[in-house]
């Protein structure tokens, strides 16, 4: 029996909910190390 919904459906719902709370939703490629909007210096840094 397959699930009634996929992981992407849950992900999109969570992102929409966070955006409705005022969070800015960005692609992982936009915030990757080395990019202008990077959230960390390298992939070894864990973001909690």
pTM of structure? 0.64
pLDDT, mean over the chain: 90
pLDDT confidence tier of residue 12, bands split at 50, 70 and 90? very high
User: Considering its fold, how many domains does the chain have in total?
Assistant: 1
Domain holding 38, by residue range, is 1-48
Q: Which of 22, 39, 41 is nearest to 30 (CA)?
A: 39
Per-residue pLDDT at 48: 56
Q: Which of 10, 13, 15 is nearest to 28 (CA)?
A: 15
């Amino acid at each position: 029996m397959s699930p009634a919904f996929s992981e992407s459906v849950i992900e999109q719902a969570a992102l929409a909910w966070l955006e409705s709370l005022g969070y800015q939703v960005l692609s992982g490629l936009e915030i990757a190390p080395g990019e202008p909007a990077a959230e960390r210096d390298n992939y070894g840094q864990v973001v909690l």
